[in-house]
Structure 1
């Protein structure tokens, strides 16, 4: 049965983060996508996008972000709630015998929870704005099991920091690699002049814009103190570790007013590396406000691949499921950006160590249609877009805002869409490619 629902589309915010009430639209459905109602989003041949759930009332998360598959087919979902302190929650999503989604709130009163992952001890860990916590979703009272693992994360204070969200990934030895976002866009004053200290460096760069390492102490404990793993990283929400040990970071670059510059990035992180913020963008371009002598771009670690401007990568995962053999080992990424290159899920080709494969030059698609060229000599990502038609279609679908990607037991790809309060599922289409 064809179902069409439409909400009024609210204006997009240009510079500020989206709130729970911003720009929400309903997904129309028509047909079947491997047991789920199929959305009208045009997909790459052989793929379909099914609607698992879309919130229209009080039940369920307001801004779904993190996804973690549980052992019995249920899902743990983190809920940002809003860009206000104490409005976040953690939910459990299960399904009735009729397949209908059912929600149970496990914890509430949280400040912008985002990442959810299993640790080396098998427990579940969640990043909040200013801490990493653990909880037991199977307990009779999960809220009573919430325990702070790492608290008082540096500079992740609401409204004092432009990038307050925390994220993390576990290293091979169990260490926690934790994102500490930059407190400003590009460390300049209101007149566009560098906010530099006596040595010419950004006044904010000593303890922010980093990925920090907290040593694993065993038995679900990590050191409160940390060391700097990598720096010069404006916003490392997207982090992933390859089985070979490669650590990738997706960089949301600065917000210049130009829609076609600067480019977002994929970086291979190394111990002690500096990746340019707030001095350099692209391959070696000083940012406005910083002189070439201050920027020293040739001494910074260059990105392994450039992404389209304002694509806003918010998640990176390696596909290891069974439903899509052609994607095995590929790097899946969500492009959350609201500008013309965002609103996509992309599968990038990789080498044996999980590093993205690139082409020189190339083009990238933009909405509503067409493509733009990368600058000469730019390493552009090699791969394919799984969601080429996720733009707004009046009365049928909203512009996509994918956040976190997760692989289900059957190999399907689950996606949170925080702007449209939805959870979706990429599955194999029964239509011949």
Structure 2
């Protein structure tokens, strides 16, 4: 039991009264926790937000849904540029099966957004990508599908490419989203997130099988490989490409063939621990979940014999704790030659390190370069040091001031990025129900 002195009680009451008065003042001033982006002026032809950007860049507002009844996605996530300036946007819809959809975004001559709903009733759709032959592929929670978006009724062209991925009965809403990337030979590499945070029982011990392994390890917390059979077909059966990965929503393939994964690490209450990871995936690799975090640091609940952290694959670099990386792409546009070839990453996290996009320096194989004894920024201001003598991503935050500013903009929750034909970078913000565009001022 924690005892508090009378002086401490008086101080706590004063703080509580001050917080209550501040909250009332914010409401009266109309400066509550709004998710709206205020706009003034222009950013490359779109209305400009006041989000603080790195030199030579601005953030424009393409679209923001103002109420749940208006047209457009309720929770925009995936994004894919189409020929002619249209876009596909996946709509999570909510964290329940059957509420998602797929939208097509086009624009009038005055750039007024126009929405057309192509699919409804989807279960937590996320990734949209072009595959072999140029067809469009979309990931749902428990399957990957394809469709003809040019058809009069795209829903009638819907076809399941890979089914029977784990669904909510297994995941219980912990990490239910599927994402995928095409390998150089056309194989599908598919994320299967872990159904729990750390695979612990109610007593805080590792839920292990007879061999001392996490009971979830055999079928979750992994990236699976589905062999390409040609003609838009993939094997339903899969092999495990890499395991020990809690949540691999962020996957990317470099032109050299390198496969990167950005790990959303375990959810400890400590705001400074553990760190997120960037991993180079290899066939048969095990990257630590649920036994180890950071650079082979054991987690409570597992014995040394079970965790075997020194035998796990190390990350190539760390990212800030709880940053929640959700997307990566190698920038190849013309608008920002200074970023060409760099790895762009979205940090979606709701804690002090989230709400950022970073341009990471990479080598010729697309592997992130790293610093030692580096720092990372936190909101509302300040910086903290990475663990001593550990590698951290080297690069530049291109959205350094995307924290909540009352009456101006919310803290960013960037999800997926896509590069337009002109080299601008489009971004979905799911919590604010917005689509944003990074361009030259």
Q: CA deviation at 1:198?
A: 1.4
Q: Are 2:242 and 1:230 equivalent residues in the alignment?
A: yes
Structure 1 counterpart of 2:12: none
Q: Secondary structure at the match of 1:26?
A: coil
Structure 2 counterpart of 1:122: 134
Structure 2 counterpart of 1:180: 192
Structure 1 counterpart of 2:356: 344
Given that residues 156 and 165 in structure 1 are in contact (C-alpha distance below 8 angstroms), is that contact kept between their aligned partners in structure 2? Answer: no
Structure 1 counterpart of 2:49: 39
Q: Are 2:366 and 1:335 equivalent residues in the alignment?
A: no
Q: Secondary structure at the match of 2:133?
A: coil
Q: Are 2:441 and 1:419 equivalent residues in the alignment?
A: no
Q: Secondary structure at the match of 2:196?
A: coil
Q: Are 2:278 and 1:266 equivalent residues in the alignment?
A: yes
Q: Are 2:262 and 1:250 equivalent residues in the alignment?
A: yes
Q: Deviations 1:208-231 (Å, cap 9, x if unpaired)?
A: 100000001111110000000000
Closer, same or farther: CA 86–155 of 1 in aligned 2, 3 Å? closer
TM-score (norm 2): 0.92
Q: Are 2:151 and 1:146 equivalent residues in the alignment?
A: no
Q: Secondary structure at the match of 2:85?
A: coil
Gaps of 5+ in 1: 1-5, 11-23
Given that residues 180 and 188 in structure 2 are in contact (C-alpha distance below 8 angstroms), is that contact kept between their aligned partners in structure 1? Answer: yes
Given that residues 9 and 25 in structure 1 are in contact (C-alpha distance below 8 angstroms), is that contact kept between their aligned partners in structure 2? Answer: no
RMSD: 1.2
Q: Are 2:41 and 1:50 equivalent residues in the alignment?
A: no
Given that residues 198 and 266 in structure 2 are in contact (C-alpha distance below 8 angstroms), is that contact kept between their aligned partners in structure 1? Answer: yes
Given that residues 133 and 146 in structure 1 are in contact (C-alpha distance below 8 angstroms), is that contact kept between their aligned partners in structure 2? Answer: yes
Closer, same or farther: CA 115–381 of 1 in aligned 2, 3 Å? same
Q: CA deviation at 1:115?
A: 0.1
Structure 1 counterpart of 2:377: 365
Q: Secondary structure at the match of 1:72?
A: helix
Q: Are 2:340 and 1:322 equivalent residues in the alignment?
A: no
Given that residues 32 and 406 in structure 2 are in contact (C-alpha distance below 8 angstroms), is that contact kept between their aligned partners in structure 1? Answer: no
Structure 1 counterpart of 2:37: 27
Give the aligned length. Answer: 411
Whichever structure has more helix as a proportion of its residues is 2
Cα distance in structure 2, aligned partners of 1:417 and 1:99: 20
TM-score (norm 1): 0.93
Structure 2 counterpart of 1:215: 227
Q: Deviations 1:293-343 (Å, cap 9, x if unpaired)?
A: 211000000000100000000000000000000111000000000000000
Q: CA deviation at 1:137?
A: 1.2
Given that residues 246 and 353 in structure 1 are in contact (C-alpha distance below 8 angstroms), is that contact kept between their aligned partners in structure 2? Answer: yes
Given that residues 44 and 388 in structure 1 are in contact (C-alpha distance below 8 angstroms), is that contact kept between their aligned partners in structure 2? Answer: yes
Given that residues 155 and 180 in structure 1 are in contact (C-alpha distance below 8 angstroms), is that contact kept between their aligned partners in structure 2? Answer: no
Structure 2 counterpart of 1:3: none
Structure 2 counterpart of 1:394: 406
Q: CA deviation at 1:258?
A: 0.2
Closer, same or farther: CA 183–147 of 1 in aligned 2, 3 Å? same
- Segment drifting more, 138-147 vs 156-165: 156-165
Q: CA deviation at 1:407?
A: 0.4
Closer, same or farther: CA 420–160 of 1 in aligned 2, 3 Å? same
